[in-house]
Amino acid sequence: MTNSMTKSLVKLALVVEDSPVQCEILSKLLQEEGYKVHTANDGARGVAAYIEYQPDLVLMDINMPIMNGYEAARKIKSISQKNSLCPLIFITSLDTDQAFIESIEAGGDGILVRPFSPDVFKAKIKSIQRISDLYGELKAFQLIQQKDAQLAEQLMTEVIESRNYGLNKIGMIQKPAALFSGDIHLTALSPNGDVHAMLGDFTGHGLRASIGAIPVSETFTSMTKKGFSLLEIITQINQQLYSLLPADLFLAASFASISSYEKTVCIFNAGLPDTYIFDRHGEVKHKIKSSHPPLGVLINLLSDFSFKAVRVDLSDRVVLLSDGIIEARNVAGEMFDIQRFEQAAKRGVLQGDICDIVLNSIAEFCQDVPQKDDLSLIDIPCHGWDQAFVNDNEIARHKSLGHITPFKNNTIAAWRWQLSLTGERLSRVNPIPMAMNQIKEMEGHAQHWQNVFTILTELYINALDHGVLALDSALKNSPEGFSQYFLEREKKMKALSAGELSLHLSYFPLDIGGQLNITIKDSGQGFDIEAVRHKLSMKKSDLSQLSGRGILLVEKLCDSLIYKKKGTVVEACYLWHI
């Protein structure tokens, strides 16, 4: 800043002229205009002086010994291009078209033909300086813009995306265009071991395209970590963007939630090209189309939107991509398109690296055509997301606490927490993250809260699905039934006007750990406890069954699990030691 200020106060001019008399006259006129003047008497010295003084203006005679004006002008222009525009004016007595054309071709910005009056000369200098000043301003703006774009890109990749989860297993293509286009890649781990992924594409370019990225990544990551469902997260992000962004700015995004344990994938695609599920041979198993306008456009999500819930094999892979890949163009203007993408992805699956093969394939297709849009893709395997989940060793460790006697209900708890939800609220509110928040606020963070989260979630969902909504879990036993189950559930949730669920927690600190009693009551019809227990005991030997696994896990985690009142009340007791 200081440099350019001082420079703009005292301007430097260079006069290259072999006649000492002309040199003197021009210098005098320039000094009257406030310039400090350097002179040179031939082209070669002119070039040397230019390099030495870096003037703001050059006046150049055409006919000179050693090196003529045209040649000197070419040399000067080739040096000055990368810095700023230094206007160069030819002074000549040759009043011919040829002289004029050659002057411009040599890089001159103007020509003055002798004889001219001092006033004409000064006017010419002023006009050329005005253009040069504008050029300087433009350059400065360009530099600011470039810095903004760099900042946006840096923010996205280094600050936001560096917090992503599971990058040793999740493949990503993140190749921003020269003009960064605001693609965002997010992954996070839910307390129940599910992985959430989001690929988003903001409208527009540069900094403008990335202002929404910070709230989106905050919401996505923190809500996932707290155990909110994908639907709740998407609803929240949509509302945030709606209130935050102007009407023409929005986020096209696809979301995936992957559960290795349940062998299911849920997809919600709002405005991106199809999201894919490939099998281990690279064949397309599912293509999930966009079913909703981009986020941030509508104040509420459309009421008839739907999640795509699919049953997967552990060897399947989920692939999210943005339109930059599909719309990459070659010299002939053709698009890379879906077919080429699917072929490349197939080869990628077979060779064990989708990102690499797809990128190479695009590079080969586009050759030297500059990349216009960000290239973005997230490739997530369906297996290997159980680590966060409890393992049997941990269960064994908890069970070894048998020697401490759990408190009974009549002992006074350190605290109790209760929440009852009725009717329509049941379909809108998820009490589990609230309960977990409560526990963490009062007792601090601890590893075993993950087990509590699992227990609460499984018991609550059971009470809601099979109690209040009266859904038959047998439906979930076949892959087709599985999707049907979710459709049915969605329908019933939307129509929910009656029913009640209550959740009760009491916490007892113990010398070497603690105890949490969980009671959940539902207003459903209940079930035949003995029959279900019998069925579950049969299932213990057959874990490939699709339903009932959740409850078996809860049973393993809990010190005791008792169903009462025809199954409408469940009491779980969880013990841990530090």
Omega of the bond leading into 294 within 30 degrees of 0 (cis): no
Tokens of 402: 């048998």
Site size for another protein, by CB under 8 A? 23
Q: What's phi and psi for 245, nearest 5 deg?
A: -95, 150
Q: Is 204 in the site for another protein (CB under 8 A)?
A: yes
State the DSSP string of 30-42: HHHTTEEEEEESS
- Closer residue to another protein (CB): 184 or 432: 184
Query: What does the alpha-carbon distance between residue 173 and residue 169 come to, in Å, rounded to a whole number?
Result: 13
Q: How far is the CB of 284 from another protein (least distance, A)?
A: 18
DSSP secondary structure code for residue 175 in this structure: E
Binder of another protein out of 64, 86, 270, 309 (CB under 8 A): 270
Q: How far is the CB of 169 from another protein (least distance, A)?
A: 28
Q: Is 210 in the site for another protein (CB under 8 A)?
A: no
Q: How far is the CB of 283 from another protein (least distance, A)?
A: 23
Which one, of 335, 334, 354, 352, lies nearest residue 344 by Cα?
A: 354
Query: What does the alpha-carbon distance between residue 163 and residue 169 come to, in Å, rounded to a whole number?
Result: 15
Q: How far is the CB of 285 from another protein (least distance, A)?
A: 21
Query: What does the alpha-carbon distance between residue 487 and residue 428 come to, in Å, rounded to a whole number?
Result: 17
Stretch that binds another protein, among 73-81, 163-171, 242-250, 567-575 (CB under 8 A): 242-250
C-alpha torsion sign, points 269, 431, 386, 490? negative
Q: Is 298 in the site for another protein (CB under 8 A)?
A: yes
Question: What residues contact residue 364 under an 8 Å CB cut-off, 6+ apart?
Answer: none
Check if the beta carbon of residue 265 is closer than 8 Å to that of residue 312.
yes
Check if the beta carbon of residue 153 is closer than 8 Å to that of residue 180.
yes
Q: How far is the CB of 327 from another protein (least distance, A)?
A: 9
Q: How far is the CB of 293 from another protein (least distance, A)?
A: 5
Q: How many residues can be counted in the chain? A: 578
Q: How far is the CB of 241 from another protein (least distance, A)?
A: 13
Q: Is 273 in the site for another protein (CB under 8 A)?
A: yes
- Closer residue to another protein (CB): 138 or 396: 138
Q: How far is the CB of 177 from another protein (least distance, A)?
A: 12
Q: Is 299 in the site for another protein (CB under 8 A)?
A: no
State the DSSP string of 253-288: EEEEEEETTTTEEEEEEESSSPEEEE-TTS-EEEEE
Stretch that binds another protein, among 9-17, 296-304, 339-347, 434-442 (CB under 8 A): 296-304
Q: Is 183 in the site for another protein (CB under 8 A)?
A: no
Q: Is 271 in the site for another protein (CB under 8 A)?
A: yes
Binder of another protein out of 1, 9, 247, 412 (CB under 8 A): 247
CA distances from 226 to 299, 396, 442 (A): 24, 26, 15
Question: What residues contact residue 226 under an 8 Å CB cut-off, 6+ apart?
Answer: 191, 433, 436, 437
Q: Is 213 in the site for another protein (CB under 8 A)?
A: no
Considering only residues 371 through 430, tell me which ones interact with another protein, judged by CB under 8 A. none
Residue spans of beta strands (DSSP E) within 227-374: 251-259, 264-270, 275-278, 284-288, 308-311, 317-321
Stretch that binds another protein, among 143-151, 291-299, 394-402, 462-470 (CB under 8 A): 291-299
Binder of another protein out of 136, 215, 293, 406 (CB under 8 A): 293
Rounded to the nearest 10 degrees, what angle do helices 97-105 and 69-80 cross at? 30
Binding mask 511-550 for another protein (x = CB under 8 A): ----------------------------------------
Q: Is 252 in the site for another protein (CB under 8 A)?
A: yes
Binder of another protein out of 26, 40, 62, 272 (CB under 8 A): 272
Stretch that binds another protein, among 53-61, 295-303, 379-387, 539-547 (CB under 8 A): 295-303
Q: How far is the CB of 324 from another protein (least distance, A)?
A: 11
Q: What is the 3-state secondary structure (H, E, C) of 438-452?
A: HHHHHHCCCCCHHHH
Q: Is 223 in the site for another protein (CB under 8 A)?
A: no
Which single residue is written with the structure tokens 């009640």? Answer: 500
Q: Is 216 in the site for another protein (CB under 8 A)?
A: no
Binder of another protein out of 75, 175, 226, 292 (CB under 8 A): 292
Binder of another protein out of 203, 217, 430, 568 (CB under 8 A): 203
CA distances from 311 to 45, 285, 315, 344, 362 (A): 79, 11, 12, 24, 31
Binder of another protein out of 249, 377, 501, 572 (CB under 8 A): 249
Q: Is 205 in the site for another protein (CB under 8 A)?
A: yes
Tokens of 426: 């049941």
Stretch that binds another protein, among 56-64, 94-102, 265-273, 462-470 (CB under 8 A): 265-273
Report CA 558 to chain centroid distance, whole Å. Answer: 38
Chain residues binding another protein by CB under 8 A are 201, 203-205, 247-250, 252, 270-273, 289-294, 297-298, 302, 323
